[in-house]
Amino acid sequence: MTDKEWEPCFIINAHAGLGFGKWILERLKKECKKEKIRFRIYHTHKPGEETELTKKAIDANYSPIIAVGGDGTVSKVGLALAGTKVPLGIIPAGTGNGLAIEMGMPIDAILAYRALKKAGEIDIDIGIVNNRTFINIFGIGLDAVIVSEFSKFKGIERNFFQYVAETLKQFSQSEGFEANVSGISFPENRKHISIMLVNNRRLGGAAVIAPWASLYDGFLDLISIPKLAFHEGIQEMVRLITSTLNKSNSLLNFSVKEGVIITEKPLRYQIDGETMPDKKNEFIFDVKKRCLRILRCK
């Protein structure tokens, strides 16, 4: 983007990740004032407010719209921008920062801001499940339980080691479930602990859940994680954080565009890191190709 087009609006979740949002905000204010540019900062005060604030920023002709927070904040801002030509920028301030890392963003807020000014624009896909959209990942079963339990940790408790510990704890307690998926040769009588639809290959940090996935190919990756012995689960966890799940003989992966997942019983599910309050056993999914413009640094 040219300097003339650069009139950013920051939508910030000051409580994301380790809670450094307010400190990041002051640094961004100082940087923008030094540049003598038109800019605006909106704070989120309640869940879901990102959508309303993003639309407000679009109406006021700000561009780009920059999400400052974790994957949840980024997803809500991004989905509100889908179908427009206004680009999404990301300044990572969460725990995982999966999409920010995938877009090549530095972790430091000011370095990320400066990198955005030099970034190129690309259009990425979004996923749809039961008429709800997602950018990164949708998960049923264990994945949703882990997200829910991990969300209870605050501040410095929300870290990679705590996430691994919670994952292993929930893994050992998971009973598994059977499911069917339309349109593919999905195995019957297989016990799954989680089924995921993946758009962004990166779960967060160093964890790559789907090494084969692409944000630009018009497909989602459907991944089935089976019920495993505890030592096998440890092995898969190591593969997750070393980006080698493509070597796993346990996980199943399918490239899909649309279909229906039906589970034997209603289960918890999560969308882009937010566990939904209800349980369902039918999930109708689709993909919308290249409808979100985003700033990428690599």
pLDDT digits (tens, 9 = 90+) for 33-62: 999 999 999 998 887 899 999 999 999 999
Whether 123 is covered by a domain: the verdict is no
Three-state DSSP class for residue 32? helix
Same domain, 109 and 204: no
Whether 298 is covered by a domain: the verdict is no
Same domain, 66 and 162: no
Give the chain's end-to-end CA distance (angstroms, integer): 15
Same domain, 151 and 104: no
CATH number of the domain enclosing 114: 3.40.50.10330
Same domain, 275 and 154: yes
Same domain, 102 and 142: no
d(CA 230, CA 171): 8
293 or 16: which leads in pLDDT:
293
Instruction: Determine the length of the chain.
Output: 298
Task: With cut-offs at 50, 70 and 90, classify the pLDDT of residue 212.
Answer: confident
Place of tokens 């929930």: 170
- pLDDT at 14 (0 to 100): 67
Q: For residue 154, give its domain range.
A: 132-289
- pLDDT at 151 (0 to 100): 76
pTM: 0.89
In the listed set 68, 84, 118, which residue is the last one of a domain according to the structure? 118
pLDDT digits (tens, 9 = 90+) for 65-105: 999 988 889 999 999 999 999 999 999 987 778 899 999 99
d(CA 246, CA 239): 8
In the listed set 54, 89, 118, which residue is the last one of a domain according to the structure? 118
Same domain, 145 and 254: yes
In the listed set 92, 118, 144, which residue is the last one of a domain according to the structure? 118
Picking from 254, 194, 253, 198, the residue whose alpha carbon sits closest to that of residue 225 is 194
pLDDT at 229 over 90: no
CATH number of the domain enclosing 248: 2.60.200.40
Contacts of 41 (CB under 8 A, 6+ apart): 9, 10, 12, 25, 28, 29
Same domain, 139 and 230: yes
Same domain, 136 and 191: yes
- 215 and 110 in contact (C-beta within 8 Å)? no
Domain count, the chain: 2
Residue 133: its H or E element: strand 132-134
pLDDT digits (tens, 9 = 90+) for 148-158: 887 777 766 77
| E strand spans, 187-268 | 192-198, 202-204, 207-208, 220-226, 252-256, 259-267
Whether 126 is covered by a domain: the verdict is no
